[in-house]
Amino acid sequence: MQMLDVIQFLVNNPEVLSQVKNGTASLIGVNPEQTKAILDVFLEQQIVPKVYYWQ
């Protein structure tokens, strides 16, 4: 699974993002450094999701 696939999955399934943050779920095929980077971006809102532009 590529990083883009993981990010798309998390966008479509925000409850999984909460589980990963709480440590009750993990991202298979994603190393700890990548997981931390993903959580930093999603939780600190460093980027604006593409969907925002279409609202």
pLDDT digits (tens), the chain, 55 positions = 688 899 999 999 989 999 999 999 999 889 999 999 889 888 876 555 555 555 5
Both tokens assigned to 49: 């999701």
Entry pTM: 0.69
At 50 the pLDDT is 58
Q: DSSP state, 25?
A: -
Distance CA 8, CA 26 (A): 15
At 10 the pLDDT is 92
CB 42 within 8 A of CB 10: yes
At 15 the pLDDT is 93
Tell me the domain boundaries of the chain: 3-54
